Structure formats: structure tokens, C-alpha cells
Amino acid sequence: MAIFKTRDELITCLGILYDQAKRDPRIAPKIKDSGLVIQFRYDEPEAVATIIASRPPTQEGAYFDVVWDDDPGVKPDIEMSMKADVAHQFWHGKVNLMAALTRRQIIAKGPIPKILKLLPAVTPMYDMYPRVLRELGREDLIIQK
């Protein structure tokens, strides 16, 4: 049974995580400096999030934009496809990216070394995600360490 019951639930949980990350001085500058457009395609439920670091952000205080839309208006440099449950586990720090790519739990198109280079930048999000879930009153979704 899927962790997120609806697309809206997925977008709420991961959307707040990404919104916090795009303003976080430990995370966001490194993503911005990459200049990449990274698209995450989620299944079960379906949703598409695109990180756009290739142009100046549209929101004050943000280092990059995050667009939740099948057509964000830009071509992604990297596309990552996975079940939403895999993303949920990943943001808890429970998924090894290389192993998930090898097992095809995550399917990546584009320059994989560039994604691997950003991995240390997003590590603080592993602590941020359970905090977001707590703030939303979704302790039921938190994976215990």
C-alpha cells in the first residue's frame, strides 16, 4: 500500500521539503551553482517536480525554483523516475542512490555523475524531511532510525 494516498498529499509533504531546501543556505547554493534542471517523476501517486537552477529564481529568498507540473516549460538535464514510496524512503536517508539506480528502483536519464556530485549537498534534507512531516502532523509517515 502506497505511503501517499493522493497526489495532493505527496505534493504537500515533498513540496514543503523542497520549499525549505530552496531557501536553506547549506543546501540551495550548491544546487543553484550546478545550473541544472532536475526533474523528479513520481508514480503511485503520479506527480512531477522540477528543480530549475538554470535561471534566476522567481521567489524572493529562494536560490532556485521548484515547479510541480508535467510541463514546467524547460527541458530537464536530468530526469529521475521512481515510485513515491522510494522518494519517501530516500528523504529519510534510507535509500542508497547507487544501489537504487543499479536495482532500477530509481531510473535516471542524463549525466549521473552530476547527480552524484549533488548528493552531499542534499544530505541535510534527511533531517529536514521528518521535521516537515512532524510540522504537518504526519508522524505516522516518519520512518524511525
CATH number at residue 62: 3.30.1050.10
Beta strand 78-83 with 37-43 is parallel
How does the average pLDDT of the chain come out, rounded? 95
pLDDT of residue 144: 84
Helix (H) or strand (E) holding 135: helix 125-135
Taking the complete model, does pTM exceed 0.95, yes or no? no
Q: Number of structural domains, the chain?
A: 1
Q: Is 143 inside any structural domain?
A: no
Output the CA–CA distances (angstroms, integers) from residue 92 to 2, 16, 73, 86, 95, in the order listed: 16, 15, 30, 10, 8
Q: Is 25 inside any structural domain?
A: yes
When pLDDT is averaged across residues 4-26 and rounded to a whole number, the result is 97
Q: Is 1 inside any structural domain?
A: no
Whether the CB-CB separation of 94 and 143 falls below 8 Å is answered with yes
Q: Is 140 inside any structural domain?
A: no
pLDDT tens digit string along 84-143?
A: 999 999 999 999 999 999 999 999 999 989 988 999 999 999 999 999 999 999 999 999
Domain encompassing residue 55? 7-135
Whether the CB-CB separation of 39 and 80 falls below 8 Å is answered with yes
DSSP string, 50-113: EEE-SS--SSTT-SSEEEESS--SS--SEEEEEEHHHHHHHTTT---HHHHHHTTSEEEES-HH
Q: Is 141 inside any structural domain?
A: no
pLDDT of residue 115: 87
Whether the CB-CB separation of 28 and 22 falls below 8 Å is answered with yes
Given a cut of 80, is residue 145 above it in pLDDT?
no
pLDDT band at 74 (very low <50, low <70, confident <90, very high): very high
When pLDDT is averaged across residues 36-65 and rounded to a whole number, the result is 97
Whether the CB-CB separation of 123 and 27 falls below 8 Å is answered with no
pLDDT of residue 36: 96
pLDDT of residue 30: 95
